Amino acid sequence: MKLLEIQSSVRLEKSISRALSHEFIEALQNLHPDLQHQQQDVGTNPPAHPTELWTTANYLPPENHTPEMATVMTESDRLIAELLWADRIVLGVPMYNFSVPSTLKAYLDNIVRVNRTFTFDPQTHTFKGLATGKKAIAIVPSAGNFVVGTPLREMNFCDPYLRSILGFIGIEEVEIVPIPNQFMDEEIRQQEVENARLKLINLAAYW
């Protein structure tokens, strides 16, 4: 198993998504002693946002890149190589203002690239993901309760976006593990954390 861990919380010691991600990865390591693990921490080390030069280079074959284009695409190329290397992806994704952290959006903008992680057929107007054969788990703490069946569900732009963007590049097996109600009282918060922890323990056994 080759695992890529992507963390996007700006918090370190008090981050629930980081803590449960690490517990889940530790459980996987116990089950798979040969597990290889790389981490990409966009919460503390965010990638650069795409620029005009980046966008121009993105639609040109590498052999047509100027030295400046080659330089500006270096980080994106590295992030894509890391993603394609992995067959399992664990994402720590706290919900910020009903969606993903902006640093994670910048990361995704760097890895969703034509002819690298997806292709487009101009004749049929169809897209095909190239990052296939992978599974992803997103651990998603939130202040309130945005899960299916709750009044705030329609304000949840985090879960559907993750499923859509990962599916677009070929990662169709996406498990969302919510940790809701983290702005409630201590007993409720801890119960939600424990519910997520138990779910992750069960997932580790067969994921």
Residue 81 CA: distances (Å) to CA of 9, 14, 18, 48, 77? 23, 31, 23, 17, 6
Q: At residue 75, does pLDDT exceed 90?
A: yes
Residue 181 is assigned to a ligand binding site: no
Q: What would the pLDDT profile of 82-99 be if each residue is shown by its tens digit? A: 999 999 999 999 999 999
Structural domain of residue 138, as residue ranges?
Answer: 2-204
pLDDT for residue 21: 98
pLDDT for residue 183: 86
Residue 8 is assigned to a ligand binding site: no
End-to-end CA distance of the chain: 10
Residue 99 is assigned to a ligand binding site: no
**What is the number of domains present in the chain?**
1
Task: Report the mean per-residue pLDDT for the chain.
Answer: 96
Query: Looking at residue 71, which CATH number applies to its domain?
Result: 3.40.50.360
Q: What would the pLDDT profile of 4-61 be if each residue is shown by its tens digit? A: 999 999 999 899 999 999 999 999 999 999 999 999 999 999 999 999 999 999 999 9
Q: What is the DSSP letter of 94?
A: -
Residue 161 is assigned to a ligand binding site: no
pLDDT for residue 52: 98
Residue 16 is assigned to a ligand binding site: yes
- Segment 128-148 shows an average pLDDT of 93
